[in-house]
Structure 1
Amino acid sequence: MDYHVLLYYCYTPIENPEQFRDEHHRLCLRLNLRGRIIVASEGLNGTVSGTVADCAEYMRLVKEDPRFAALEFKIEPAVAHTFQKLHVRVKPEIVHVGLPHIKPYERTGVHLSPQEFRDLKDQDDVVVLDVRSDYEHELGRFKNAVTLDIENFREFPEKVAELEQYKGKKILTYCTGGIKCEKASAFLLEQGFEDVYQLHGGIIKYGLEAGGQDFDGKCYVFDGRVAVDVNSVNPTIISHCHYCGTLSDRMVNCANPHCNAHVPLCEACGQQLDGACSTTCQEHPDKRPYDGTGNYPKISNHYRPEQGLLSYRAPVR
């Protein structure tokens, strides 16, 4: 395959995130990368796609910066760009959870390698905790994992009270790439949990380095692929078609933009409902055309990858 997808994050202080954002945007333009990158005073978070050569140069240049020397890239092959556009934005946090006071580079859960996680996860004194949203863990999760009923990661802090029963056990947290676990495990420590760990590199690295053993279903990803296979050891399907109930790991976004639900939808129901999650959404006048994928990139008329940079400091009129 001629392209790579890079998934990465790094919690580290950035003194002038606006200036860094501009410089980083220019770097991505020069290397023809596409994707979504978030810059904050607490660090850097991104998923980008590009040619193998351009991604290699990007990784080299990013790691030349002493602030990101310890950053680890998760690298996956792709046949083409998995993003339509490039966005580099400054936000209060690199993953929105509403805990800006927590600094994972100062204190967070113990990092476990994929092999260490695999060896620990089934012990009697261990609880494996999925910190992702409903639509993610319904598509795929580790066997016997504890899941939380949340639509968005920012709801995580209010759900921690439900975990009090596990305070005497080792808590092994996991998420897609590791970034949510940095803050989730740090918050658990703040709330009095003493034995807290995290799967370093997340599900993606676990699939790459440990074969994805005992991860049931697929992993939801935030790019044009929507969902990816993880388990090459003992794979299975756990999700069911939202409409007919048959086993299906085919993830889509509802074709009705006002719904846009993330749901499994089998091929037959996808065709029958024309990409919608229900007959009501199918009949909505704003329903988007269905091309069989269930993935709908945001439309931006006359989009140019450099326009975000040019308009970033545009004066208010």
Structure 2
Amino acid sequence: MQTPCSESSSLESGTPVCVAALYRFAPFEHFASLREPLLELCTREGIRGTLLLAAEGINGTIAGSHEGIARVLEHIRALPGCADVDVKLSGASVMPFHRMKVRLKREIVTMGQPGIDPLASVGTYVEPQDWNALIADPGTIVIDTRNDYEVAVGTFERAIDPKTASFRDFPEWFRAERERLLGAGTPPKVAMFCTGGIRCEKSTAFLKQEGIEEVYHLKGGILKYLETVPEEESLWRGECFVFDERVTIGHGLVEGSYGLCRACRRPVSAEDRASPLYEEGVSCPACHGERTEEQRASYRERHKQAALAAARGEEHIGAVQSGHADERTG
């Protein structure tokens, strides 16, 4: 089992690859000018992954040597408003990304709601060690703000699954379900969580804008909870989906048991792999009906070329893009 890397003891870490999931809402007036220096540094240090830059801040997940990650984090912390950037460190046995990308976006996590500003109004942060008491309270409504394929892999006890395919769908879901969830009287406490914390920054800001006052969210997200709360005390059930080649992680941030469907980028379990609808590199039970035979033929050829490249000891980059990039640290 791999243990997470640490900024304070990176050289002593047992993992060859350090993975840093990070985000920060910060006012970047000229965010486009930040791209090239950041990309050049990451390339020079051999870092791979994806970083998103927008006028509202930075978000992404990167991986590389412990020393290289430390240098990139030092650079990011020197950006305007980023001295306290939220970083979750973990380890990987192999490099979980194929390339390095720094993208310019309208939002660092896409909700599509105008006027949402987590810097101006956001829910109350709850430390991981205090989270169990909050979500175990019958007077608290617990909402998982992640997408359906993520929730299927694991979630907290008592959590409501909105069954959304995209974070953009969350506002519409909440408005449709608000009366059923909150009732007509005094609204109950609402506790929300996501992978790394960024989606909760926006979802709690959204609920505050909708007039819900008593809103809470898990500080550091599921990743921080799994890192700090002992498994025997945990109310987390299952594994946590992450947007890289590790696919899922568990308590202690160790690599999980799920594989990845190369056609749709959804997680696949051992049961999924036993299905007649599963073909490695081509389809899984979740996406088989979403693709045409022509698409599957293309995926089949891509998978063949990837296998040939691997046999030659070469790296084949041909992953299907799924549109999940905006939610990399969740």
- Please confirm whether the aligned pair reaches a TM-score higher than 0.5, indicating the same fold: yes
Question: Which aligned segments of 4 or more residues in structure 1 are displaced greater than 4 angstroms?
Answer: 278-283
Q: How does 1:42-53 map to 2 (within 5 A)?
A: 42-53=56-67
- Counterpart of 2:91 (choices 77, 84, 89) is 77
Greater fraction of residues in helix: 2
Aligned to 1:67, the other structure's residue is in SS state: coil
CA distance in structure 1 between the partners assigned to 2:148 and 2:271 by the alignment? 22
Q: Which residue does 1:230 correspond to in 2?
A: 251
Q: Which residue does 2:268 correspond to in 1?
A: 264
Q: Any conservation in 1 of the 2:26–2:80 contact (CA below 8 Å)?
A: no
Unmatched segments (≥5 aa) in structure 2: 1-14, 308-315, 320-330
- Counterpart of 2:201 (choices 169, 177, 182) is 182
Q: Which residue does 2:35 correspond to in 1?
A: 21
CA distance in structure 1 between the partners assigned to 2:228 and 2:35 by the alignment? 32
Q: 1:163 is matched by which residue type in structure 2?
A: R
Q: Which residue does 1:110 correspond to in 2?
A: 124
**TM-score scaled by length of structure 2:** 0.77
CA distance in structure 2 between the partners assigned to 1:62 and 1:172 by the alignment? 30
Q: Give the number of the structure with larger relative contact order, counting CA–CA contacts within 8 Å between residues 6 or more apart.
A: 2
Aligned to 2:204, the other structure's residue is in SS state: helix
Q: How does 1:124-135 map to 2 (within 5 A)?
A: 124-135=138-149
CA-CA distance at 1:46 after TM superposition: 1.1
Q: Any conservation in 1 of the 2:18–2:65 contact (CA below 8 Å)?
A: yes
CA-CA distance at 1:121 after TM superposition: 1.3
Deviations 1:227-259 (A, max 9, x none): 111379xxxx9xxxxxxxxxxx63432x5x4xx
Q: Which residue does 2:179 correspond to in 1?
A: 164
Deviates more, 1:82-91 or 1:115-124: 115-124
Q: Which residue does 1:277 correspond to in 2?
A: 284
Deviations 1:56-96 (A, max 9, x none): 22222322335111112100012232111001000000001
CA-CA distance at 1:118 after TM superposition: 2.1
Alpha-carbon spacing, 1:81–1:261, altered in 2? closer, same or farther (3 Å): closer
Q: Which residue does 2:258 correspond to in 1?
A: 250
Q: Give the percent of matched residue pairs that are identical in Structure 1 and Structure 2.
A: 31
CA distance in structure 1 between the partners assigned to 2:250 and 2:137 by the alignment? 26
Aligned length: 278
CA-CA distance at 1:271 after TM superposition: 8.3
CA-CA distance at 1:269 after TM superposition: 3.3
Deviations 1:245-291 (A, max 9, x none): xxxx63432x5x4xx26253426835864322257769632233388
Q: Which residue does 2:68 correspond to in 1?
A: 54
Alpha-carbon spacing, 1:136–1:298, altered in 2? closer, same or farther (3 Å): farther
Q: Any conservation in 1 of the 2:154–2:237 contact (CA below 8 Å)?
A: yes
Q: Which residue does 1:203 correspond to in 2?
A: 222
CA distance in structure 2 between the partners assigned to 1:76 and 1:100 by the alignment? 34
- Structure 2 residue 242 is the aligned partner of structure 1 residue 221: yes
Q: Any conservation in 2 of the 1:97–1:153 contact (CA below 8 Å)?
A: yes
**TM-score scaled by length of structure 1:** 0.80
Superposed CA RMSD in Å reads 2.7
